[in-house]
Amino acid sequence: MTTQYIKKAEMSATTGEDDTRRIVSEMLTEIETGGEEAAINYGKKLDKWQGDILVSRAAIDAAAAKVPQQLKDDLRFAYDRVRGFAEKQRASIGEFETELSPGLWAGQKLIPVDTAGCYVPGGRYAHVASAIMSIATAKVAGVKNVVACSAPSVERGGVHPAILYTMDLAGADHILALGGVQGIAAMSFGLFTGNKANILVGPGNRFVAEAKRMLFGRVGIDLFAGPTEIAIIADKSADPEVVAVDLVGQAEHGPDSPAWLITTSRDFAEKVMARMPGLIAELPEVQRLAAEGAWRDYGEVVLCDTDEEAATVSDEYAPEHLEIHTDNLDWYVNRLRNYGSLFVGEETTVAFGDKCSGTNHILPTKGAGHYTGGLSVHKYLKIVTTQRMTREANRDVAAVTARISRLEGMEGHARTGDIRLDKYFPDETFDLQP
């Protein structure tokens, strides 16, 4: 392989991790110790919010009145597709019981977690789609209590009205006007609602991601995630303008959002790179500053000799979002192994999946695509096993268990088999030594 980096990132996914961990650790400790008062104080300090934390029905209804009908229709469009996809996911796995040998039955049950904590970013952007992705999917899974949170602002009088409306549409049972680490902590510790989250889900900044990572084990999480990522594999048949626009579209998420181009054409790479500064400059100021930092510090352009080499490089990145703009799409679909969500052909793009096309946009970043997919209805389900058997089945199972246990040096285990053989078959003799 002769991979060449035409543009190499100045920073990596681990940049700034030490400071983030220290800050988040201190905040979690203070909130766990200080409870609701500590969470409220962080809300006052970081979001300047002095209002109610637990959002009332009246506030939700008032927010709904502020949402234009066209936006409500658009949100329903997105909700119907995300929910529909989640329902198909739920139907793809079921409960069963099977007889493995005469008299021995084993099976699996699907039990939803009791409480899910769904984080919906509400800082730089109003991520209404994230509310649908996390809350609606939890409800399809059968989660009884969904606690959602999002950052409030003084200017908006609380949580963004469209986010509130969408949280309610998606089925949230409780909504907290808390963002950041304080919101994650409140859901995890059961503050304001009395319902401790069994699983925490939803995208967020590096502080939110770190809080989830630190709490993992005490609660489940959807996945280890960081700033959003995009990779595009393109060849000379691709449209450089479309590819450049798609890269910029994800770079606007924040100054630490990687955007990677993997191509088999140097001419194509140069055309895309030439367009990036101009497209970024055309964005509004907030988005422009975010995209500038992302492309400057985290953007990469990789030139590969062959399709196989391009696929290998992509699999090494294991990007959160992966677009394919090539003339041999099916080959790449069958070859690629590591990614969060795949967007096949120019006709689809990351933004479609982010907003409304149906697949979930809460996806693995920072290489986690090597071992996990994104949020799905299955994340909210505990797949537990059951077994039952007849006394006759003990003739084989108990004897085998006893012999294997003794081989392992676990005499106590062996005797649980012995006692059943003695009880069920008192007139028989068994060889119970390994």
Just list the catalytic residues.
Answer: 320-321
Distances (CA, A) of 285 to 259, 273, 297: 19, 21, 18
- Please state, in angstroms and rounded to a whole number, the distance separating the CA atoms of residues 254 and 125: 10
- Please state, in angstroms and rounded to a whole number, the distance separating the CA atoms of residues 201 and 198: 10
Token couple for 8: 């190499």
Distances (CA, A) of 335 to 175, 234, 307, 315, 339: 43, 15, 10, 10, 12
- Please state, in angstroms and rounded to a whole number, the distance separating the CA atoms of residues 167 and 64: 11
- Please state, in angstroms and rounded to a whole number, the distance separating the CA atoms of residues 65 and 87: 29
With beta carbons less than 8 A apart as the criterion, state whether 112 and 380 touch. yes
CB hemisphere CA count around 152 (13 angstroms)? 25
Terminal-residue alpha carbon distance, the chain: 52
Report which residue type is found at 162: A
| Residue 303 parent element (H or E) | strand 300-303
Token couple for 239: 């449209």
Token couple for 44: 């006052």
